[in-house]
Amino acid sequence: MMLAGLDELARRYGVDPYDKQRAETSGSISKILAALGVDASSQEAIAASLSRSQDREPPVLRPADDAECYLPSWLEQGRAWGISVQLYELRSRRNWGIGDFADLALMCQIAAAAGADFVGTNPLHALFVSDPARCSPFSPSNRLFLNPLYIAVDQVPGYASQDKDEAATASLRELPAVDYVGVAELKIRVLRDLWRRWKATQPGLPPFSQQDFVEFRDRHGASLQCHAVFEALSLSMVAANRGSGWTGWPREFHRPDSASVRRFARENRDEVSFHTWLQWIADAQLTQCASIARQAGMRIGIYLDFAVGEVGDGSGNWTDRELSVAGMSIGAPPDMFSATGQDWGLAPVSPITMERSACDAFRRTNQALMRNAGALRIDHAMSLWQLFFVPEGSPTAEGAYVRYPLEQLLAILAEQSLLFRTIVIGEDLGIVPPGFREVMRAARILSYRILYFEKAGSSFIDPGDYPRLALACVSTHDMPTLGGWWRGDDIELRLKYELIGQQAAVAQREERARERRELITTFQENGLLRQRDLSPTQCGSSEPSAFPPIFAVAAHRFIAGTPSVLASARLSDLTGESRQTNLPGTVDSYPNWRIKSSVSLEDLASTELFRSITDAMAAERPRPA
């Protein structure tokens, strides 16, 4: 039974239950309000909270005044294209078993030579050095800092060829998937040696001089110090079988300002400095990548990804406990793709703390990301307006949407975008609230449009019907590659991993066969495929034959031919991969975030499929000489 006034209290604080009819919902609303610091535990408590909040205005879904993100003048009428990669997937003959910043620089040069204006990456946020198996880039420990496993060790000052264990690096490099534990063990060991060597050297030359290091450390201040202490403490706790995340540590280590933590930092000053140094090296190498991309001729350069949240036991939440909402995680309500909903295992930021701090954490994170980004993709862009909170221990369906100070966030996003000249892209997939895309357009945040999803009824829309303020692409990391989509590999994977049953698999196979025929027809009607390009079997069979490369070229010509200002090709489609990057609904049973490219960067530009697709993209969207 809903307590009197609870509805109004929830409205004032922007809490909107997913299912208002469920009897359990009032209990969930009370839990969410309590987590936000609003007492709704009894009728008397609700009355008191209503009295205290009588002047509070609930959040409103509307554009912010004079808040428009950066869009370069040449894109006002022009268009550009680029390539999206997962940095770890890059294979080269020099890396140490994982794609690194030197590989990213080379990828930018290869893409630029093909006519591309940007290279997009997965989130590069800091994860857990102490627990490298926690490898999802979308479950970061701290979004202010970088993952040091992406450091190109052979580019670090003081490195010598004898530092490398040739047999170990060759073994890691040849694996079809990233061995994060093996990579971390090898890289961190050598980086420690380089740290000791670097400390003993003379000041050095920019950007790796000791003065540069001191300036970096001072510029990032307490946030960097806390992160470095966390990393050192986390390694110590893992060694003591306490776990990598702070929630499993003894209580005296739960806050960075505790006496025990301060004592640890004093007694382990060199180890803390090592983790500060790792962040400095990573930042310097990423900055070099951004510079190389521009020097290679790219007009946008590197396009970074801003994950929607941080894990609750990581560095970010440990550093600022008041910023996150304890006892809650974020996810998605039940829908046609997930009957029980989704719990993403990420800690929500408190909208009330955001308001009180003038959204300072959001501003600082945008500054950290945009400094090296010609474009920035906001994962789950609807988080600017609302996130779906799930109380710990409750079914997902008992969760509720919690609203955020949208106008303030948009104003900050636009301010930083203009300051750093960074294009902003909003990943607006899934449940998009009515009116949200209009707000995005008003703020000049590009929409994210995927070929598989752009339909009118059961038919795929024509390229001319795509919106102009958008990035158009074939698919994302959570979806099958184009070849996998053609064959229905994703359906078979969902069946194999028991994400769907046999009956659903049959229905999805039939739907995929119809979609294949529809897409072939769409390409033919737009002059991208001829009748003779595909065999009758390929055109009509419910059982797909071998994937035809000409279909991949047609798909990319299709998205390149849209009016959308940006179009992106996925590296895994340019190399004809079959395995998808991430299989939603699985954690460790499928090799999520580990699968490497089958083609080495040194060979990429000469492969026929890469050349065919990039030539088609460049022909549709030529870069001025």
pLDDT digits (tens, 9 = 90+) for 476-529: 999 999 999 999 999 999 999 999 999 999 999 999 999 999 999 999 999 999
Q: In the chain, where are the structural domains located?
A: 1-58, 70-446
- State the pLDDT at residue 203: 66
The secondary structure of 349-401, three-state, reads ECHHHHHHCCCHHHHHHHHHHHCCCCEEEECCHHHHCEEEEEECCCCHHHCEE
Classify strands 15-17 and 400-403 as parallel, antiparallel or unpaired. antiparallel
Give dist(CA 363, CA 350) in Å, integer.
15
> Angle at which helices 210-239 and 259-267 pack, to 10 degrees?
120
Locate the DSSP E strands across 9-67: 15-17
Amino acid at 2: M
pLDDT digits (tens, 9 = 90+) for 376-412: 999 999 999 999 999 998 888 889 999 999 999 999 9
| Cα distances (angstroms) measured from residue 622 to each of 80, 268, 488, 615 | 8, 55, 33, 10
Pairing of strands 447-450, 470-473: parallel
The region that residue 183 occupies, defined by phi over 0 for left and psi between -120 and 50 for alpha, beta otherwise, is: alpha
Summarised one tens digit per residue, pLDDT across range 574-592 is 999 999 999 998 889 999 9
Class of domain 70-446: alpha beta
For 287-355, the three-class secondary structure string (H helix, E strand, C coil) is HHHHHHHHHCCCCCEEEEEECCCECCCCHHHHHCHHHECCCEEEEECCCCCCCCCEEEEEECECHHHHH
| DSSP string covering 522-544 | HHHHTTSS-GGGS-HHHHH-SS-
* Amino acid symbol at 472: A
Mean pLDDT, the chain, whole residue set? 94
Give the separation between CA 256 and CA 269, rounded to whole angstroms. 15
Q: Is the pLDDT of residue 57 over 50?
A: yes
Please answer whether residues 405 and 354 qualify as being in contact, where contact means their C-beta atoms are separated by less than 8 angstroms. yes
Q: Say which amino acid occupies 202.
A: Q
**Nearby residues of 351 by Cβ (< 8 Å), 6 or more positions away:** 14, 36, 59, 402, 403, 404, 405
Strand 328-332 with 301-306, pairing: unpaired
- What is the mean predicted confidence (pLDDT) over 251-275? 98
User: What spatial distance separates the first Cα and last Cα of the chain, rounded to whole Å?
Assistant: 68
Residue with tokens 């030529």: 622
pLDDT at residue 598, rounded to an integer? 98
Beta-bridge partner residues of 259: none
Residue 542 has pLDDT above 90, yes or no: no
Q: Residue 388: phi, psi to the nearest 5?
A: -90, 110
For the segment 179-200, the average pLDDT, to the nearest whole number, is 97
Model pLDDT, residue 18:
77
Mean pLDDT of 604-622: 98
CB neighbours of 237 closer than 8 A, spacing ≥ 6?
130, 243, 244, 248, 249, 253
User: Under a CB-based contact definition with an 8 Å cutoff, are residues 566 and 472 in contact?
Assistant: yes
Q: Tell which residue, 398, 337, 335, has the closest CA to residue 19.
A: 398
| CA dist., res. 299 & res. 290, Å (int) | 11
Element (H, E) at 118: strand 118-120
pLDDT at 345 over 90: yes
- Segment 193-222 shows an average pLDDT of 89
Q: In what order do the strands lie in the sheet with 566-570?
A: 423-426, 375-378, 301-306, 118-120, 80-84, 566-570, 470-473, 447-450
- The pLDDT, as a whole number, for residue 395 is 86
What radius of gyration, in Å, describes the C-alpha atoms of the chain? 25
Does the pLDDT value for residue 23 go beyond 50? no
- Return the residue matching tokens 């990548």: 289
| Helix/strand/coil percent split, the chain, to 5 | 50, 10, 40
pLDDT bucket at 210, cuts 50 / 70 / 90: confident
H-run or E-run covering 103? helix 101-113
pLDDT at 337: 59
User: In sequence order, what DSSP letters do the residues of 419-451 get, joined into one string?
Assistant: HHT-EEEE---SS--TTHHHHHHHTTPBEEEEG
Q: What are 427-451's pLDDT values in tens digits?
A: 999 889 999 999 999 999 999 999 9
* pLDDT over 70, % of the chain: 95
**Residues shown for the chain:** 625
Q: What separation in angstroms does the CA of 591 have from each of 278, 475, 580, 582, 595?
A: 27, 19, 9, 8, 7
pLDDT at 532 > cutoff 80 = no
Which residue in 494, 535, 541 sits closest to 516, CA to CA? 541
Give the whole-angstrom CA distance, residue 110 versus residue 602.
Answer: 9
CB of 479 closer than 8 Å to CB of 430: no
Give me 263's structure tokens: 């004592």
The pLDDT, as a whole number, for residue 397 is: 82
Widest pairwise Cα distance in the chain: 76
Backbone angles phi, psi at 406, to 5 degrees: -55, -50
